[in-house]
Amino acid sequence: MNDNRLLVMDDDPEVAKFFAQVGEDLGYAVTRLDEPERFIQTVESVQPTVILLDLQIPGKDGIALLRDLAHSRVRPKVLIASGLDNRMVTTATELGLSMGVDIAGAFCKPIALDELELQLARLLVQRKIITADRLREGIIEGQLVVHYLPKATRRGPGRWVVDGAEALVRWEHPEYGLLYPGDFLHVAEDNGLIVELTDFVFRTALEQARIWKSKGLRMDLGLNLSAHFVADLGFPERMLALIAEHDLDPSSITLELKETTAVEDPELTLDVLARLRVKNVNLCLDDFGTGSSSLTHLYRMPFSEVKLDNTFTKDMGTREDARAFMEGLVYLAHKLKISTCAEGVEDEATLQMLEALGCDRVQGHFIGPAARARDVERTIAVWNADRAERAAG
């Protein structure tokens, strides 16, 4: 059976034909369907890896089909397509996600050929067999590497200075090439390898921060923290000892954790985080604004920074409500004396909007992509020189 199976659910025969042709050209086995009453039956029999779903279908509409899909045993990725406005498409996306459907993207029709190709190409399944033994072997053989995503801080009108980076683990797999955390982090979590993996990332990143410091380049360092560590009362002492070992100031280190990490055992998490914060280690709540209880964690726990999710950042240029939402999040954080960092900044216009809202820090490909330390140093030199010249001019 073809590992890439596309189900096109659209009642417009010309549009469906176009979608199907693009899918076939990319290597999908394509099934076209225009009868919503047969949707779940077809899903169960074909077992698509990707569904391209139109919202406006006579009879049973796309929203109802999303609800049906949420109760199915088949878990495909779903691309929502619609001739409705962007707000409705976004609403359908959020609704699908809340139901547990794997919404991989959405777009308004008509869509350009190259954009549709890009959407479908990134969902092509590649068989990557990642086992605990293979990951353990990769760690032992030094196949893991750390890339650094630059972060810029607002220092004045139009002046953003790169003065930090988030450490991100990668695996240089001998067969599959460069793998990202989504490919193997769950294997580490489920098989007791997360401590070993995190220790490698922390030690590598802290050593790099020490090297930068010796060069006169002071860089704040962001490190991602898994649930395992916020449930370990001995972690704060070990973390502080590691920071001291590398001759770094605890205030230059930010530990980042997602909301789901914070909610697993709130009381224990609060104990661990409070002791880290007392010692001046910064704490960041990642993906702020995407969870139902983010405000509770922000109120109760000693976070010094929140990361504003790129879902909102990318919509700021086209949606007034996204800008208003971001403005509210920044205002709330600042009222609580917490700094803000926006993810996913991809252009100058977005950067300027964030500056107007008073956002403190930013990261994204416009600032610089995640890369090895030597490449990040070049990004810093070019970016900071360019921004200094703009400010002077």
pLDDT tens readout for residues 282-308: 999 987 766 544 577 778 889 999 999
Q: Check whether 346 has a pLDDT greater than 80.
A: yes
Q: In the predicted model, what is the mean pLDDT of residues 300-327?
A: 88
Q: Is 301 exposed, middle or buried (0-12, 13-18, 19+ CB in 10 A)?
A: middle
Whole-angstrom Cα distance, residue 303 to residue 305?
6
pLDDT reported for residue 1: 60
The mean predicted confidence, pLDDT, of the chain is 89
Q: Are 157 and 382 in contact (CB under 8 A)?
A: no
- The first and second tokens of residue 39, run together, are 């949707």
Rounded to whole angstroms, the maximal C-alpha distance in the chain is 67
Q: Report pLDDT digits (tens) over 5-55.
A: 999 999 899 999 999 999 999 889 999 999 999 999 999 999 999 999 999
Model confidence, pTM? 0.72
pLDDT reported for residue 289: 64
Q: Are 169 and 181 in contact (CB under 8 A)?
A: yes
Q: Report pLDDT digits (tens) over 142-171.
A: 999 999 999 999 998 888 999 999 999 999
pLDDT reported for residue 73: 83
Give the relative orientation of helices 320-335 and 348-357 as an angle to the nearest 10 degrees: 40
Q: Check whether 85 has a pLDDT greater than 90.
A: no
